[in-house]
Amino acid sequence: MLKNTQQLLAIMSRLRHPEDGCAWDVKQDFASLIPYVIEEAYEVVDAIEREDLDDLRAELGDLLLQVVFHSQIAQERGLFTFEEVSEGICDKLIRRHPHVFSDAVFNNDEERHQAWEQAKTAERLEKNKTAAQLSVLSGVAGSLPALMECEKIQDRAAQHGFDWPDIEPVFAKVQEELDEIREAIELGDQAHIQEEVGDLLLVAVNLARHLNVSPEIALKQSTKKFSKRFNYIEQQVEASGRSLKECELFELDAFWNEAKIVLKNAN
């Protein structure tokens, strides 16, 4: 394994050689590689969801390449090396798992989660040095997908006591936000409508948290379900010799209800 890692590092170093390397690789920097990091991460997720293990192995390699690529750029600039990246994550894993690498004892998942969050807070304090300048929400990447960022922000706040103790007030808040959207629509204020829709989505994330559901995964699954049902509608419309626009809404809705039954039975 060490040999393969060293070979990968050597290949990337060669690709980045200013004279003998690849022109495309040489001109890349941290910022230009951002889309590829995101794309490779999502392709790993896609392979997992499709349960394609051969593809997963390949996609993990592509993701590892991005780590090596960034590390090579950093090394060239005298910032850090791949070895330092590896050392950093090793130290972090040992530090955040005292029940495995030390003598700490946790009785349940909640205690483990609290200890994990405390360790992260201590790391942020050390990084920022000044506690007065540090928010409990610090460290949540603003570049995360909106649902994931919202969930992490709410988790952080909940860890410090800012959360409802049970789910009933969350249901009430969902209804409250729906009512406020209706009011905004009546006023015809588009900016206000957008704000209230955002508030509703935020509360929906909170509801998912209280139900131990990942809002990102839940929405992804529902979107896939919608696509499958819509594809069924397209097939039925095509079989009738018409286009979607030539059909009445009640016909499409009937196909939709039919799709729910057919696809459920197919599963």
Q: What are phi and psi of 162, to 5 degrees?
A: -95, 80
d(CA 153, CA 70): 27
88 in the same domain as 34: yes
Task: Give 130-159 pLDDT, tens digit per residue.
Answer: 544 567 787 787 778 899 899 999 998 998
Residue 192 lies in a domain: yes
Q: Per the structure, how many domains does the chain have?
A: 3
155 in the same domain as 87: no
pTM of the model: 0.65
CATH number at residue 17: 1.10.287.1080
Task: Give 35-83 pLDDT, tens digit per residue.
Answer: 899 899 999 999 998 899 999 999 999 999 999 999 999 999 999 999 9
258 in the same domain as 208: no
pLDDT band at 1 (very low <50, low <70, confident <90, very high): low
89 in the same domain as 19: yes
Residue 120 lies in a domain: no
